[in-house]
Amino acid sequence: MEDIKSLFAQNLIRLRKQMKITQVEFAEKINYSDKAVSKWERGESIPDVAVLKGIADFFGVTIDFMITKHDESEKIEQTTGYEKAVHNKNRVLISGITVIAVLICALTVFISVQTASPQYLHYNVISCFIFPLPIYFVLLLVFTSVWTRRRLWKIILVSLLIWSILLVTYSIIWMATSTSAYLVFIIGIPAQLVTLMSFGIINVKPLRFKKDDLTEEHNQE
């Protein structure tokens, strides 16, 4: 049976390398010296329970996981808490960069149009900033659907998409007829209710039995 220090060293090295951080970086993240980390990874020593718990929490695993032997496939499948935090941060950054990129495009178009026809300020603002709103919310909804299962964010974004479409409709009518068609927003009330009711539906998948299971059950009878 392998020594606990050796098992801890193996697990620590693999988890650290899986996260692609150096000993120095890891030491900084757990507020410890890189010399101590080096000793741990050489199997010369093992931290006390309190530090071991902190290391396990950092990697998103249990203390038992840190001092137990694992094969390579299990190690690869293990997702650390640090990785999850990095992935979440990257997703937020990607979403933000995409929205800002669309905003920059809209701002560029606005400056060009406003320079060419400064007398139509209201129309230019509506065309460049109001009309693209549904695009923003569609993009965010796509990112949210791919990256998270939280219904609250989806409900919020779908609701914003509905009201932004109504705002665009209102703006088009106003630009075309110079009349305030505020009644168009009444459509948003039933649309909002349908959205909330749709997300309230719970899909329950029927149980499926394998043929072998049915045969075994039949034999038992």
Instruction: List pLDDT tens digits, range 2-40.
Output: 588 898 998 899 888 887 889 998 898 888 888 999 999
Does a structural domain hold residue 213? no
Does a structural domain hold residue 43? yes
pLDDT beyond 80 at 178? yes
| Confidence label for 76 from pLDDT (cuts 50, 70 and 90) | very low
Give the total number of structural domains in the chain. 2
Compute the residue count for the chain. 221
* HEC assignment per residue over the chain: CCCHHHHHHHHHHHHHHHHCCCHHHHHHHCCCCHHHHHHHHHCCCCCCHHHHHHHHHHHCCCHHHHCCCCCHHHHHHCCCHHHHHHHHHHHHHHHHHHHHHHHHHHHHHHHHHHHHCHHHHHHHHHHHHHCCHHHHHHHHHHHHHHHCCCHHHHHHHHHHHHHHHHHHHHHHHHHHHCCCCHHHHHHHHHHHHHHHHHHHCCCCCCCCCCHHHHHHHHHHC
Angle 184-186-188 (CA atoms, 0-180°, nearest 5)? 95
Q: Report d(CA 192, CA 148) in Å as an integer.
A: 22
Lowest mean pLDDT among 90-94, 118-122, 153-157, 185-189: 90-94
Range of the domain at 50: 4-77
Is the domain of 72 the same as that of 91? no
Last residue of a domain, one of 44, 77, 110: 77
pLDDT, average across residues 135-155: 83
pLDDT beyond 90 at 171? yes
Does a structural domain hold residue 210? no
Q: Report d(CA 207, CA 31) in Å as an integer.
A: 49
pLDDT beyond 90 at 164? yes
| Confidence label for 211 from pLDDT (cuts 50, 70 and 90) | very low
Give the pLDDT score at 112.
93
Is the domain of 85 the same as that of 165? yes
Structure tokens of 131? 């009309």
pLDDT, average across residues 133-146: 86
| pTM flag (> 0.75) | no
Is the domain of 172 the same as that of 193? yes
Residue 67 maps to which CATH number? 1.10.260.40
Is the domain of 150 the same as that of 175? yes
